[in-house]
Structure 1
Amino acid sequence: IRGEEWLPSAPLHVLLYEAFGWTDSMPQFAHLPLLLKPVGNGKLSKRDGDKLGFPVFPLEWHNPENGDISSGYREKGYLPQAVINFLALLGWNPGNDQELMSMEELINLFDLTKCSKSGARFDYQKGIWFNQQYLLMQDNMAWVPTFDKILRDNGIVSTPEQEAKVVEMMKTKVIEYFDNDGNKKKRNISFVSDLWPLTKFFFVAPEYNKEDKFVAKNWKENSAADMQQLAKLLGTLDDFSVENQKKHIDAWVENTGIHPWNAWRVALVGTGQGPDMYDLSAFLGKEETLNRIHSAIKHLG
């Protein structure tokens, strides 16, 4: 099985086998369609990956001649199962709409007669989607080794249990990023490394910025007074679980008419991102939650 660029020389190879008397051991030749550029015409090349920001090699490759580095799927955070599934469907399909398939399913379903005769365009965004799907299939603890390394690289030491809780709260969130043309886009978390920009506040208290759009909109004149009341209430709770916080805060909201959610998010996160406030507060614990509320009052007034 080889690429279609070998098709013109296939008759010559058959003649060579016949000339040497090797016809009994001559293989059956099959030719797969070429992988085409994501954009434009022609077959996929390393330069396409370098230009558009996706890996072409399985592992990071260092060119010994000029020192250039080409990224690899492993170093970019792709899961092996996702890459195999993605590549298997380039130029072939099982004859139905199924996209996610295990190695065993791919082996059982693969049939050369279902391979396309035309080139397969390399849709690297689809590869990212496959990785996201396979990440979500994993247990939260499977994310932890990679996430823990990212945290340690940023000077943060945590526990596997805490990290797994953060994964559970944030793994289905959306991230914002800039494409190679400088356009701002959004996509679901597709790599463990996507977690860090969205989860720093779990481990590091925010720096409050009055110019932040979410802060400017949601920290109002009465927010400091509301947060003082909330802090006083939270300070009386010995049980800081999600359920107990919800019980007491919901009752306080009903009695006072105060809706603290956005200002509370400003205090604990510093921006408009993050999980449910009860989940976040319970994760941070009573002391850290109160410290952040008082810090927000001090800095934002």
Structure 2
Amino acid sequence: MSLHSVRVRFAPSPTGPLHLGGIRTALYNYLFAKKHGGTFVLRIEDTDRKRFVENSESYILEALKWCQIEPDEGVGYGGSYSPYFQSKRGDIYHMYINKLLKRGYAYYAFDTNQDIDKKRKEYNHRGLTFSYNSRIRMKLNNSLTMTKEQLHDKLRSCSYVIRFKIEPGEKLKMHDIIRGNIIVNTDHLDDKILLKSDGGATYHLANTIDDYLMKITHVIRGEEWLPSMSLHVLLYRALGWTPPNFAHLPLILKNNGKGKISKRNTNSLNSPIYPIQWEIPKTKIILPGYRELGYFPEAFVNMLALLGWNPGGEREIFSLQELINLFSLEKITKSGVYFDIKKANWFNKKYLNEKKKEIFAFLSKKIKTHSISCKTDYLWKVIHLTMNRIHFIHEIWEHSFYFFISPSSYEANFFNKICHENTILQLKNAKILLYNMNQFTSVNLRFLFQTIKNKHQIMQLFRLAVVGILKGIDIFIIFEILGKEESIRRIEKLINQIKEKI
């Protein structure tokens, strides 16, 4: 098979938002397609209409667009293999299910849910696990145990499902690009349902047929589908088709080691799992996404790419084009990978260095809301002094506000401790020293205050006066940027606040 004809698909179900595992699957499909000059197809696998959640489709399209990994073909993009919704391909599935029935690879099963439950309880009572397979199917209510006349009557009067007929006694040999050779004994497989009682195809049937008809060459999907690989391979064989290449991606695990990341455990996680925010249709509750929290799509994708794959070496920062150039399925790990939000933040911080203009624009807009005007050079100076303290653009104000506005309040715990006459005296004496300085520079200020008693406490008082909290960059640099008049004005303001308190 020529790699130049590579066709891969991302086939999510419209049952809610994409989480980290889903968007990583899309990313790996995208990277593989682009690496080999192939086609990345988006297909919506909506065979289970009961689990359909409104707005899922538009969410999927928007998430892929934000991540800059848009499909070449499929839902929202068109193509020559439409429709790309499984719910609209029912006639196609029925045509192929009839072929399987005629060839003896499938059969009708009329067992009701109550029948199956009864059998399951019988087996549980005997300490066994019930499985609808070659060992028991001849004792159940299906077309394999009926005459043609009986079957004809049943089809007219009873609802049914269609099951795939697994032939026992075979050691099925398969190959996974990531996991290597796999052997499955067909004795351990059950006869999965291909067509549901409502006439709708199951994922297994629809997925296999669609992959073949859409000429998918590589099926790159999550590890949770690995147990289904044998059924899909047998379906391909039964229909006389050559299976695609399979690659099953490792699970993304919670950092505490307690299971995989999934939509079901959103409430127990202390970090977002969605690329963009999701509004739950019924409750209107908004679940946060990386986009809205201030992450750059480039940083998010870079982080996600290395969550299970590594090109080798120590380097971690890659552009999307570099990821494409380096990507290979063979370098994906087999074992589950742990997701750490701190690492995601680290990636975002690395990309901040390329976003100085965006930081400038954000800070400019922020100071306008406070009716402040200042020179461009002053803004750039503040940005360069504070940007190493932030991971996100929106954090710049939190770390630089004191360069533009005097604090409106003071850190309560420390302020309450210093509310006495001795503090006022210390501040007044320090203020005189500042006032008498000719060259008000950080170098001169630092030199002057090296010889003062209680230097550490004076530095804290200064920081409280000019910042309002005991955080911020070097206090002497803050003084120099603010200038002598503003620095003294803020110290006087603190003195007055202490006087009012005592």
Normalising by the residue count of structure 2, what TM-score does the alignment of the two structures yield? 0.47
Contact 1:36/1:122 (CA < 8 Å) preserved in 2?
Answer: yes
Question: Which of 164, 175, 189 is the matching residue for 2:380?
Answer: 164
**What's 2:357 paired with?**
141
Identity rate, percent: 39
Instruction: Summarize the Cα distance change of 1:190–1:47 in structure 2 as closer, same or farther, 3 Å threshold.
Output: farther
The AA in structure 2 aligned to 1:119 is G
**What's 1:10 paired with?**
229
For structure 1, the residue ranges without an aligned partner over 5 or more in a row are 174-188
**What's 1:69 paired with?**
286
Determine whether 1:92 maps to 2:306. Answer: no
* CA-to-aligned-CA distance 1:75-118 (integer Å, 9 cap, x gap): 01111122112111212222333323332332233222221212
Question: Which of 423, 436, 440 is the matching residue for 1:220?
Answer: 423
Determine whether 1:230 maps to 2:433. Answer: yes
Determine whether 1:282 maps to 2:491. Answer: no
The AA in structure 2 aligned to 1:62 is E
Helix, strand or coil at the partner of 1:73: coil
Aligned equivalents of 1:117 and 1:255: distance in 2?
Answer: 62
When the two chains are superposed, the root-mean-square deviation of aligned CA atoms in Å is 3.4
Question: Which of 193, 197, 207 is the matching residue for 2:398?
Answer: 197
Instruction: Summarize the Cα distance change of 1:87–1:255 in structure 2 as closer, same or farther, 3 Å threshold.
Output: closer
Aligned equivalents of 1:34 and 1:228: distance in 2?
Answer: 61
**What's 1:291 paired with?**
489
Instruction: Summarize the Cα distance change of 1:47–1:147 in structure 2 as closer, same or farther, 3 Å threshold.
Output: farther
Aligned equivalents of 1:147 and 1:139: distance in 2?
Answer: 12
Offset of residue 206 of structure 1: 1.9
Helix, strand or coil at the partner of 1:226: helix
For structure 2, the residue ranges without an aligned partner over 5 or more in a row are 1-219
Aligned equivalents of 2:410 and 2:338: distance in 1?
Answer: 45
* CA-to-aligned-CA distance 1:179-237 (integer Å, 9 cap, x gap): xxxxxxxxxx3222333333332232124658543784697353233233135325x66
Question: Which of 344, 348, 370 is the matching residue for 1:127?
Answer: 344
Offset of residue 254 of structure 1: 7.9
Aligned length: 275
Aligned equivalents of 1:150 and 1:59: distance in 2?
Answer: 24
**What's 1:273 paired with?**
471
Normalising by the residue count of structure 1, what TM-score does the alignment of the two structures yield? 0.75
Helix, strand or coil at the partner of 1:126: helix
Determine whether 1:30 maps to 2:231. Answer: no
Aligned equivalents of 1:258 and 1:282: distance in 2?
Answer: 22
The AA in structure 2 aligned to 1:6 is W
Contact 2:427/2:495 (CA < 8 Å) preserved in 1?
Answer: yes
